[in-house]
Amino acid sequence: MCGYAGIIGKNKDDISKEIFSLLNHRGPDRRKYISDYDYSIWHTTLEVQSDFNSNIQPLETNKSILAYNGELFNEEVKNFNSDTDFLFYSLNKAKNLKKTLSSFLGYFSFIYFDKKLNKLFLARDTFGSRPLFYTINNKNVIFGSTIDSVIRLMDKNVNFDDDALVDFIERGHFTDTNTFFKEIKSVKPGSFITINIKSLKVSTEKFNNYSNFKKYHKADIYNSLKSSVRRSLTRKNIFFEPYLALSAGIDSNLIRAISLKEHLKLSYITGYNVKQHLEKVSKTNYINISINISSELKSSPEIPFSGNPSIFYFRKLAKFVKTKGSKILISGTGADEFFGGYRRNIILKFPILIKIIKFLSPQTYDQPKNLFNFSYKYKRISSDYLDVIRHYKIKNSTNAQKSSWTYSKSINYEKNIYLTNELCSIADQGCMFEGVESRSPFLDQALVGDVIKYKWNKTFINISKINLRFLLLKLNKSLSSIFSPKRGMTVVLNINRESISKIFKYEKLINSATFSYAIDYLKKIDKNEYPVFLLYRLLVVCHAFDQKNKLH
């Protein structure tokens, strides 16, 4: 994977070393800087393949520039030195950018600058698996893989977005294209932005990245998953063995079962608490994880974009994997979203339940956006369903209980609400903090296209990943492994008194009504009842405040 940042409209040679220092963790193996009087672009590369004949990014001709972070698995890549060269060639030849983007299979975010048209294009894959932030500042267009690099390239300080902080503090992730700061936005997954450098006019267009892989389609779930696992594990020239984050649940054990059946090289890492629930697995490394939130935030090479402390769980795994000489960590991210792994999928499948919720708990239905209720349950209805209710009320305000969703719509709901801004961010940042690439076979456009095309989840089988459970049963012949509850690695979170005191001290420094409201909430309850996740999210906001001031 990689890190990149840049500015179009101005030269920033004078801070080149600083920008590289903000990107090095994302690409410790190679670096390159290009500039002219009206642009500066930096790129750092993490080498996961021995494609040493490939060009070092940013790639530049007299007509265009490319800075890219990702991994493409299209069959056409084999005709090029690397997927980067394939991407650059495709973009240079593209007559219809939307159609070209829809043909890419894999993880990506990139910027492409067309010098002739004087237009900048920014794009992300349909899952949002790789980050990309941007802003327009004093007639300059600024972009980067990290918020930190974007802030450093700006000529003015940034301000907290109070509305966005409501979502971050309550739900643990941002929605839509929001970030901590009003001035900085993220590129929406499955879309590309076009910016006219002269007029600074901005337009956004979506592209369909699920239904354009006919030659990759498989009519049964095993072969489709097998293909996606192979794409994640067997790309040519990988010179080390990938590691799988193994739990006692369905997702990672299914990846393991397929890799064993197909004789694919893979090692495993998990926690000691999971060991007793796993059958004897060779090449498994067991570790304990204890996280001191204050020290982890202090040592974070970039501002965490998720309000879920699991980002540091991934960081610990990545750090261990790195000590073993590997640079790839595989996870089961995406399985719950695309195969019905959440309780709320019951509502997604049977919208009439909205009417039942309205009857059982009018408060839940009428006031679903109730700050800080994430850590508790309403009298009868779990807060797990709140986002679903919000979404249905917005989309179907006049007739919610009669609405009928297709499975593709429920996939988009899960992807947009939770997957992109939380789970993908956790995996990407947690691994990149240590210079390790994150991958998931479930974040595969061809696989999701098959799920939709062949309607594997058309009926009640959508609930609880039944399709995956029976596939795992077929592979390992063990009933216990498919019906046992998920047991992930136990992570011990430590938030000391000093950190809690810091939150209260920052109330006067951070100009945010949302932050102040959160402090008032804490003041009203006993210290022993402080919700850990709320404390963590407030500490992340404090860290973002410190970083933005430090970078300016």
Per-residue pLDDT tens over the stretch 493-534: 788 888 999 999 999 899 899 999 999 989 988 888 888 889
Say what the pLDDT of residue 97 is. 96
Across the range 173-192, mean pLDDT stands at 95
CATH 3.60.20.10 placement within the chain: 2-132+187-206
The 3 state secondary structure assigned to 280-346 is CCCCEEEECEEEEHHHHHHCCCCCCCCCCCHHHHHHHHHHHHHHCCCCEEECCCCHHHHCCCCCCHH
Say what the pLDDT of residue 46 is. 94
pLDDT of 146 higher than 90: yes
**Beta-bridge mates of residue 123:** 110, 192
Using pLDDT thresholds of 50, 70 and 90, give the confidence band for residue 178.
very high
d(CA 380, CA 401): 19
By the 8 A CB rule, do 110 and 68 touch? yes
pLDDT of 169 higher than 80: yes
Mean pLDDT of all residues in the chain?
Answer: 84
Using pLDDT thresholds of 50, 70 and 90, give the confidence band for residue 376.
very low
**Whole-number percent of the chain with pLDDT over 90:** 57
Using pLDDT thresholds of 50, 70 and 90, give the confidence band for residue 15.
very high
Structure confidence by residue, pLDDT tens digits, 448-484? 888 877 765 554 445 568 788 888 888 876 655 555 5
pLDDT of 5 higher than 90: yes
- Is this structure's pTM higher than 0.75? yes
Say what the pLDDT of residue 398 is. 40
Counting every residue written for the chain, the total comes to 552
CATH topology of domain 2-132+187-206: Glutamine Phosphoribosylpyrophosphate, subunit 1, domain 1 (3.60.20)
Q: How many CB atoms lie within 10 A of CB 225?
A: 24
Residue position matching structure tokens 């690695």: 489
d(CA 402, CA 400): 6
CATH 3.40.50.1000 for the 214-337+411-492 domain, yes or no: no
Say what the pLDDT of residue 378 is. 36
Residue position matching structure tokens 């402080």: 530
Structure confidence by residue, pLDDT tens digits, 51-73? 555 679 999 999 999 999 999 99
Across the range 81-107, mean pLDDT stands at 96
